Copies of this chain bind each other. A is one copy, B any other.
Amino acid sequence: MTFTADAPLGVFDSGLGGLTVVRTLRACCPGEDIVYLGDTARVPYGTRSSETIARYAIGCARVLTARGVKAIVVACNTVSAVALDMLRIELDLPVLGVILPGARAAVAASGGAPVGVLGTASTIGSGAYPRAVASLSTRTEVVGQPAPLLVSLVEEGWLDGEVPRLAARRYLEPLIAAQVRAVVLGCTHFPLLQGAIEAEAAALAGHPIPVVDSASATAEEVATFLTERGLATARTERGRLHLMVTDRPRSFSDVAARFLGEPAEDVELIDL
């Protein structure tokens, strides 16, 4: 199959967290049309089995290919961790994940010292970050920490105050004890808690610890990838953003706007 540079870019996530990737994409490559699918009826993926995650992921990807996308960004650490190879085998177009860009940014930030990763139980349990880091730097140690409560805090909109700080501290303690010199936000929800995580990491370590956002790192790599492959649009007007969700919960608009940093309009409800 061949794709035109003016075809839309497809992005999917288990829910709305992947909109943090879209937010950076809209800044890095503003001319691109983007079709986003959030599987809000089956969110969260992070606590499910690998088999279930893979089955859900291929379903999401097929919705996007049916919309004629030129490439797919898997804006979900959990899916990137457990199902990226399967998607690349099954699909006849470029598929980009969030793990390798996050790992690359972390290795650069840590300078060879240990790297900590905060993510869902599935992402951490998959060992995807240690594998990605090992492919970039054989001497860099990786310390993973499942941090499921941070997902819930972001969805609830509790981004400031004592509860997010205490939760972040509890998850960061083992990482700081292992003397990590950079922390990767290995879940697309976590950029919204970056302030709290940076503050607690610095307080625990006694010095600043770089906190690397896999969502931003991915969007930047996608922009480079599209340009290098001749797949970047030449259009200069602002691209369209079309959102699809599999369920539209009560708090949808608030949560989507929080992740996206712009109003979430043009939303289509699809069945999956």
Q: Check B125–A250 contact: CB distance below 8 A.
A: yes
> Does A42 have its Cβ within 8 Å of any Cβ on chain B?
yes
**What is the bound-complex CA distance between A156 and B41, given in angstroms?**
22
Q: Check B163–A156 contact: CB distance below 8 A.
A: no
Interface residues on A, range: 20 to 34
A147 CB → nearest B CB, Å:
9
Q: Check A121–B250 contact: CB distance below 8 A.
A: yes
- Which B residues are in CB contact (< 8 Å) with A155? 47, 148
**Identical copies in the complex:** 2
Q: Check A249–B41 contact: CB distance below 8 A.
A: no
> Does A23 have its Cβ within 8 Å of any Cβ on chain B?
no
Q: Check B163–A49 contact: CB distance below 8 A.
A: no
> Does A158 have its Cβ within 8 Å of any Cβ on chain B?
yes
> Does A136 have its Cβ within 8 Å of any Cβ on chain B?
no
- Which B residues are in CB contact (< 8 Å) with A153? 149
- Which B residues are in CB contact (< 8 Å) with A122? 250
What are 25 inter-chain pairs, A to B, with CB distance below 8 A?
Answer: A41-B42, A41-B48, A43-B47, A47-B155, A47-B249, A48-B249, A49-B247, A49-B248, A49-B249, A49-B250, A52-B247, A121-B251, A122-B250, A125-B250, A148-B152, A149-B152, A149-B153, A149-B158, A151-B152, A152-B152, A162-B162, A163-B166, A163-B167, A163-B170, A166-B166
Q: What 11 new A-B contacts, CB under 8 Å, besides A48-B249, A49-B247?
A: A43-B47, A47-B250, A48-B247, A49-B248, A125-B250, A149-B153, A149-B156, A149-B163, A163-B163, A163-B167, A166-B166
